[in-house]
């Protein structure tokens, strides 16, 4: 194998004094052509900055290479000095030698140009082909990334495509110039788990077809098992371990790698579910949801909508004290809308939501996904935590402050946190704050909408432990919305699987996760990446989530259910 | 199309509201139409003469009767008769409007031709000396009142270059295009100066926003040149705020530019409104204000159509 890329003692800094603010502190690695290297690390480890230095896109984000060298071997065998080259020369390798795909397919495509034009532009820039020939090449590459009906999709704008489709377009755009190195910066992090599996399968297939080398950046060490030849683990800007994939996974040397591997929520197919909290069917539920329907009108004129998005269509479940019900499903399945409807944040068309007002007048509270966006940056912690109480008519008095201090202590934050502002906390600490705030009114039920999804894996594990402790102490019922099966397995007593606005399977967590009955649940569970299943390969599949837009007046046929166990119900699949 | 129809349906409602407001507020200003018209001679009128005149103009009736009479006329295309000019209000307005429209269009063209490139340039030079100079210029342009610029312009042109802008009667485009452009050029520059400054500032900040977007990084990763990144990938995405601002400013300009018209002695809509108000020419005030409001609505509609043209997300809507 010939050497493609050689990085030596790379240092990258940011800001005016880039030497003092280094985020990459001496990274070295080699990459042979056709080889795949995975760079693994948590946010702030410098993994993305390292990758962006290889085509010097880091310059545009305010970064400066302060030391070291990057040498790329070009197709004709000449060595190209990346660190010492000027912008004009760097443009020659971007696209042509080094292609790149990014984390956010939603924002990485230009919204004002059709996808056909954007791909054709990459062709024109890198192969010299002109208009018709460029469009022909764009169409070919769309076929290669298995976009169904590629010809008509050429004239689509990015917003008309789903996240998975957009990521395919990104891949097509990077591939069309036949780069010899593809850098994939967290390419599946923003995608649903089944889509993630498809994109990974696609990348593996395309790599085999083209023989290109790949650098795969991810925070999820569980994900790289099936795709990488080598793994490089980064922490705080330095490489802590670098070896063959199997060596790193089976025999990690560095403490941090071991920690990462332990922290990855392993999905154990239902064998690691919680064993506390036996469900007692006779107990009165704290929340009972019956035939919940939420629809959003679309199209049509002033008076008469043409149809409606059936976001939630006839969802029923109940929740008893001390129990966690997880709702799993992909984006657009209606799980967040269900949560919001229960809190009255969206209007429901139909259905009953009965909550027992036990300890509090407001028995249901919520914790949101993004701890950065859900805390007002202008308020200090005391004001933030007092807010739900004041909104509920309580006075901001000594008793309230005592409760704040008590809850801060419970979620593991120091008492002096009260006078600090949200930006002074890390992501995990902020989520603890959000949890403490949700507990201010002493609720019976806490709705957690993807509450740990935005956190790094090791932080995620700690927050999950905290949630379990709080559940025991206060006998809280959790409605836990998540797309992450491994997280669900750790916290759920029961699981409800949502697909296209409906629950397709519900029951005891062990039963649902270990022996899924519905075809969608099976698909969802099969797509969960796992280190143990690294040899397993997925066929590329192009099924899309069905449209939820229905004509006005449409009612779905009555659901028919089948009992698959004592607490395990499955929806019959003949109803669409 | 549906959207367009909905918008057009709201027009009459808005115009009706505007007309009621103007009708009532102009009558709340102290002083009467008859006194304003006759000047000192008004003092010699007997009570009977005054009443006769009031009856002649219809202003002896209750305000609401007057309003409905006026409204009835409006539906027949009759905006009433101006007391200053003793001619139909609509004719007076339409005579003044070409100048105002041409002046507004010329000012906007100047503003966009200068402001947009300057703003884009400053954004690509963010925080460097050239960006700072552009920002200072823009700040100066926005904060200098246009009568200062107009007067300085006339002074320098006449004293140092011997150019005296043509004043008084307006030469329309249809009569002599060159003379017409020449006459309005300096007033347009005066108005365009502050306008250009606003365009510069807003296009600079919009471009700065867009240049940090993910798809710009994508374009660079494809090997696109900085020219292509700026003009093909960034600018179309940065135009929406520029269009919004230009629409609002253009709408104001269509209402006439009182001070600049005064300085350059141009018979535009602005001076017409001013004269109408000071002379209590009720019908003329009513007519011009309604006309200006109508122009504003049309401009807003054009702005919305421009949004749709610029952004496929607005044009096409959700997923197919």
Residue B273 belongs to some domain of the structure: yes
- Compute the distance between CA of residue A354 and CA of residue B39 in angstroms, rounded to an integer: 77
B223 to A126: CB separation less than 8 angstroms, yes or no: yes
Q: What is the pLDDT along chain A (576 residues), one digit of tens a residue?
A: 688 999 999 999 887 777 788 889 999 999 998 899 999 988 778 898 999 999 999 888 888 899 899 999 988 888 889 888 888 899 988 988 999 998 888 889 999 999 999 999 999 888 878 888 899 989 988 888 878 778 888 888 888 887 778 888 998 898 888 899 999 998 887 777 777 887 888 888 888 888 899 999 988 887 887 788 999 999 999 999 999 988 888 888 999 998 888 877 677 777 777 877 666 666 778 889 999 998 887 765 555 567 777 888 889 998 888 899 999 988 778 888 899 899 888 888 888 888 877 677 788 999 988 887 888 989 999 999 998 888 888 888 888 889 999 999 888 888 888 888 888 888 888 899 999 999 998 899 999 988 888 787 778 888 899 999 999 998 899 999 988 888 899 899 999 999 888 899 999 998 999 999 998 898 888 888 766 655 555 555 555 556 677 777 777 777 788 888 888 889 887 644
Task: Please report, for the domain that includes residue B280, its CATH number.
Answer: 1.10.3720.10
Q: What is the mean pLDDT of chain A?
A: 85
Residue of A108, A156, A176, A301 best to disrupt the B interface, most CBs of B under 10 A: A108
Q: Give the phi and the psi of residue A155 in degrees, each rounded to 5.
A: -95, 10
| Domain-wise residue ranges, chain A | 1-96+179-189+213-264, 98-178, 266-356+476-576
DSSP string covering A200-231, please?
HHHHHHHHHHH--EEEEEES-TTTSTTT-SEE
Nearest alpha-carbon partner for A223 in A209, A203, A251: A203
Contact predicate A105/A170, CB 8 Å: yes
- Compute the distance between CA of residue B103 and CA of residue B99 in angstroms, rounded to an integer: 6
Confirm or reject contact between A314 and chain B (CB < 8 A): no
Residue A552: per-residue pLDDT: 74
Residue B173: per-residue pLDDT: 78
Residue B88 belongs to some domain of the structure: no
State pLDDT tens for residues A492-546.
999 999 988 889 999 999 899 999 999 889 888 888 876 665 555 555 555 555 6
Instruction: Find chain A residues with C-beta within 8 A of B312's C-beta.
Output: 111-112, 114, 157, 159
Grouped pLDDT means (10 residues each) for chain B, 320 residues? 73 86 79 71 76 76 81 82 84 89 93 94 88 91 87 84 74 80 87 92 93 91 90 92 92 86 86 86 85 88 88 67
Confirm or reject contact between A121 and chain B (CB < 8 A): yes
B313 to A159: CB separation less than 8 angstroms, yes or no: yes
- Compute the distance between CA of residue A385 and CA of residue A404 in angstroms, rounded to an integer: 7
| Cα nearest neighbour of A302 on chain B | B6
Nearest alpha-carbon partner for B126 in B62, B237, B205, B234: B205
Instruction: Name the 3-class secondary structure at A349.
Output: coil
Residue B82 belongs to some domain of the structure: no
Query: Which residue segment(s) compose the domain that B146 sits in?
Result: 96-316
Nearest to A102 among B217, B232, B319 (CB): B217
Nearest chain B CA: its distance from A147 CA (Å): 15
Nearest to A302 among B6, B224, B316 (CB): B6
Residue A30: per-residue pLDDT: 93
Residue B1: per-residue pLDDT: 54
CA distances from A563 to A57, A505, A507, A518, A571 (A): 56, 10, 10, 12, 9
This model of the complex carries an ipTM of 0.77
Confirm or reject contact between B163 and chain A (CB < 8 A): no
DSSP string covering B239-280, please?
HHHHHHHHHHHHHHHHT--HHHHHHTT---HHHHHHHHHHTT
| Cα nearest neighbour of A182 on chain B | B221
Last residue of a domain, one of B75, B105, B129: B75
Residue B199: per-residue pLDDT: 95
Residue B319: per-residue pLDDT: 42
Structural tokens at position A170 = 């990104």
A107 to B221: CB separation less than 8 angstroms, yes or no: no
A159 to B6: CB separation less than 8 angstroms, yes or no: no
Structural tokens at position B32 = 């009467």
Give the Cβ contact number of residue B40 at 10 Å: 7
Own/partner pairs, A121-124, CB within 8 angstroms, 24+ separation: A121/B219, A121/B222, A121/B224, A121/B232, A122/A95, A122/A173, A122/A174, A122/A176, A122/A177, A122/B222, A122/B223, A123/A176, A123/A177
Q: Assess whether B105 and B175 both reside in one domain.
A: yes
Residue A533: per-residue pLDDT: 56
Nearest chain A CA: its distance from B314 CA (Å): 10
The CATH number of the structural domain formed by A1-96+179-189+213-264 is: 3.40.50.300
Structural tokens at position A393 = 């008519």
Residue of A95, A99, A112, A115 best to disrupt the B interface, most CBs of B under 10 A: A112
Quote helix, strand, coil % in chain A, to nearest 5. Answer: 35, 25, 40
Q: Assess whether B154 and B194 both reside in one domain.
A: yes
Residue B81 belongs to some domain of the structure: no
Confirm or reject contact between A87 and chain B (CB < 8 A): yes
Nearest chain B CA: its distance from A110 CA (Å): 5
Q: Assess whether B20 and B133 both reside in one domain.
A: no
Check for a shared fold between A1-96+179-189+213-264 and A266-356+476-576: yes
Instruction: Find chain B residues with C-beta within 8 A of A104's C-beta.
Output: 214
Contact predicate B199/B245, CB 8 Å: yes
Instruction: Name the 3-class secondary structure at B224.
Output: coil
Structural tokens at position A157 = 């704008």
| Cα nearest neighbour of A122 on chain B | B222
Give the Cβ contact number of residue A432 at 10 Å: 24
- Compute the distance between CA of residue A503 and CA of residue A497 in angstroms, rounded to an integer: 6
- Number of inter-chain CB pairs under 8 A, A vs B: 94
Residues 6+ apart with CB under 8 A from B64: none
Q: Assess whether B104 and B69 both reside in one domain.
A: no
B224 to A162: CB separation less than 8 angstroms, yes or no: no
Q: Assess whether B177 and B208 both reside in one domain.
A: yes
Q: Which position has the token pair 């076929």?
A: A143
Q: Which position has the token pair 């449209």?
A: A547
Nearest alpha-carbon partner for B243 in B195, B306, B301, B297: B306
Residue B128 belongs to some domain of the structure: yes
Instruction: Find chain A residues with C-beta within 8 A of B309's C-beta.
Output: none
Residue B320: per-residue pLDDT: 37
Q: Assess whether B236 and B207 both reside in one domain.
A: yes
A107 to B213: CB separation less than 8 angstroms, yes or no: yes
Give the gyration radius of chain B's Cα atoms.
Answer: 24
Which DSSP letter does residue B230 get? I
Q: Domain A266-356+476-576 is in which class? A: alpha beta
Instruction: Find chain B residues with C-beta within 8 A of A91's C-beta.
Output: 223-225
Residue A132: per-residue pLDDT: 87
Residues 6+ apart with CB under 8 A from A23: A12, A13, A14, A44, A46, A49, A63, A237
Cβ-count burial of B174 within 10 angstroms (0-12 exposed, 13-18 middle, 19+ buried)? exposed
Last residue of a domain, one of B40, B75, B110: B75
DSSP string covering A129-179, please?
--HHHHHHHHHHHHHHTT-TTHHHHTT--GGGS-HHHHHHHHHHHHHTT--
Confirm or reject contact between B318 and chain A (CB < 8 A): yes
State pLDDT tens for residues A540-561.
555 555 667 777 777 777 778 8
Q: Assess whether B108 and B224 both reside in one domain.
A: yes
Q: Assess whether B69 and B166 both reside in one domain.
A: no
Nearest to B223 among A91, A107, A110 (CB): A91
Q: Assess whether B105 and B52 both reside in one domain.
A: no
Residue A299: per-residue pLDDT: 62
Residue B87 belongs to some domain of the structure: no
Residue B237 belongs to some domain of the structure: yes
- Compute the distance between CA of residue B207 and CA of residue B22 in angstroms, rounded to an integer: 40
Q: Assess whether B203 and B102 both reside in one domain.
A: yes
Residue A534: per-residue pLDDT: 55
Q: Assess whether B68 and B101 both reside in one domain.
A: no
Q: Assess whether B38 and B186 both reside in one domain.
A: no
Name the domain count of chain B: 2
Confirm or reject contact between B274 and chain A (CB < 8 A): no
């Amino acid at each position: 194998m010939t050497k493609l890329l050689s990085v030596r003692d790379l240092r990258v800094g940011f800001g005016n004094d880039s030497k003092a603010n280094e985020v990459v502190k001496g990274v070295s690695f080699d990459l042979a052509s056709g080889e795949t290297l995975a760079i693994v690390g948590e946010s702030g480890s410098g993994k993305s900055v390292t990758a962006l230095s290889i085509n010097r896109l880091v310059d545009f984000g305010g970064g400066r290479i302060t030391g070291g060298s990057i040498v790329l071997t070009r197709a004709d065998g000449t060595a190209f000095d990346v660190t010492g080259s000027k912008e004009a020369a760097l443009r020659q390798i971007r696209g042509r030698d080094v292609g790149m795909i990014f984390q956010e397919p939603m924002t990485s495509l230009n919204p004002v140009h059709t996808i056909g034009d954007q791909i054709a532009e990459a062709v024109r820039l890198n192969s010299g082909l002109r208009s018709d020939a460029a469009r022909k090449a764009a169409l070919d590459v769309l076929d290669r990334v298995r976009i169904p009906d590629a010809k008509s999709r050429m004239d689509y704008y990015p917003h008309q495509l789903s996240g998975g489709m957009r990521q395919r377009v990104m891949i097509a755009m990077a591939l069309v110039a036949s780069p010899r190195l593809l850098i994939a910066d967290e390419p599946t992090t923003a995608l649903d788990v089944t889509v993630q599996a498809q994109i990974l399968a696609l990348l593996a297939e395309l790599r085999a077809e083209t023989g290109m080398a790949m650098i795969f950046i991810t925070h999820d060490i569980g994900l790289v098992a099936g795709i990488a030849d080598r793994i490089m683990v980064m922490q705080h800007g330095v490489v802590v371990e670098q070896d063959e994939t199997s060596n790193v996974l089976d025999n990690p040397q560095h403490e941090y790698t071991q920690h990462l591997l332990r922290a990855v929520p392993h999905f154990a197919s239902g064998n690691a579910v919680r064993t506390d909290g036996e469900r007692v069917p006779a107990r009165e539920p704290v929340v009972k949801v019956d035939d919940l329907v939420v629809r959003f009108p679309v199209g049509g004129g002033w008076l008469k909508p043409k149809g409606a998005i059936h976001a939630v269509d006839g969802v029923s479940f109940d929740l008893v004290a001390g129990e966690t019900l997880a709702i799993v499903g992909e984006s657009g399945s209606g799980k967040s809308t269900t949560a919001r409807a229960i809190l009255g944040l969206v209007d429901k068309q139909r259905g009953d939501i009965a909550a027992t007002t036990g300890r509090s007048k407001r028995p249901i509270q919520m914790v949101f996904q993004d701890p950065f966006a859900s805390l007002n940056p202008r308020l200090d912690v005391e004001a933030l935590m007092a807010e739900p109480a004041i909104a509920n008519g309580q006075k901001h008095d000594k008793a309230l402050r005592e409760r704040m201090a008590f809850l801060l202590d419970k979620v593991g934050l120091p008492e002096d946190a009260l006078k600090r502002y949200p930006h002074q906390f890390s992501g995990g600490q902020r989520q603890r704050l959000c949890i403490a705030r949700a507990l201010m009114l002493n609720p019976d039920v806490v709705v957690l909408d993807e509450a740990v999804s935005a956190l790094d894996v090791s932080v995620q594990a700690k927050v999950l432990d905290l949630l379990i402790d709080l559940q025991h102490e206060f006998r809280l019922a959790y409605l836990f919305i998540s797309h992450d099966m491994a997280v669900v397995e750790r916290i759920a007593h029961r699981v409800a699987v949502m697909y296209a606005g409906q629950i397709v399977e519900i029951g005891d967590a062990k039963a649902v996760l270990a022996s899924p009955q519905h075809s969608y649940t099976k698909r969802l569970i099969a797509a969960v990446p796992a280190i143990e299943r690294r040899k397993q390969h997925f066929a590329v599949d192009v099924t899309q989530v069905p449209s939820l837009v229905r004509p006005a007046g449409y009612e779905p046929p009555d659901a028919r259910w089948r009992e698959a166990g004592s607490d395990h119900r499955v929806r019959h699949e003949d109803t669409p | 199309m549906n959207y367009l129809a909905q918008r057009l349906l709201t027009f009459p409602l808005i115009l009706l509201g505007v007309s009621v407001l103007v009708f009532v507020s102009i009558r709340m200003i102290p002083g009467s139409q008859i006194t304003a018209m006759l000047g000192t001679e008004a003092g010699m009128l007997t009570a009977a003469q005054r009443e006769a005149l009031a009856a002649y103009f219809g202003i002896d009736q209750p305000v609401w009767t007057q309003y409905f009479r006026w409204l009835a006329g409006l539906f027949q295309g009759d905006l009433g008769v101006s007391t200053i000019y003793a001619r139909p209000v609509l004719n007076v307005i339409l005579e003044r409007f070409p100048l105002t429209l041409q002046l507004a269009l010329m000012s906007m063209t100047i503003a966009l031709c200068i402001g947009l490139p300057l703003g884009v340039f400053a954004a690509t030079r963010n925080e460097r000396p050239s960006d700072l100079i552009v920002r200072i210029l823009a700040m100066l342009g926005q904060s200098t009142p246009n009568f200062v610029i107009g007067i300085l312009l006339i002074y320098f042109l006449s004293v140092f270059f011997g150019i005296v802008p043509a004043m008084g009667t307006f030469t329309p485009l249809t009569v002599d295009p060159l003379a017409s452009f020449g006459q309005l050029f300096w007033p347009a520059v005066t108005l365009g100066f502050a306008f250009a400054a606003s365009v510069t500032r807003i296009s600079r900040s919009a471009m700065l926003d867009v240049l940090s977007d993910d798809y710009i990084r994508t374009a660079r990763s494809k090997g696109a040149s900085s020219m292509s990144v700026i003009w093909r990938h960034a600018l179309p995405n940065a135009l929406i705020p520029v269009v919004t601002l230009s629409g609002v400013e253009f709408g104001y300009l269509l209402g006439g530019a009182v001070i600049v018209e005064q300085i350059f002695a141009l018979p535009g809509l602005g001076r017409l409104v001013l004269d109408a108000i000071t002379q209590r020419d009720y019908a003329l005030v009513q007519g011009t204000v309604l006309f200006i409001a109508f122009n504003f609505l049309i401009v807003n509609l054009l702005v919305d159509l421009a949004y749709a043209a610029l952004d496929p997300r607005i044009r096409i809507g959700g997923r197919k």
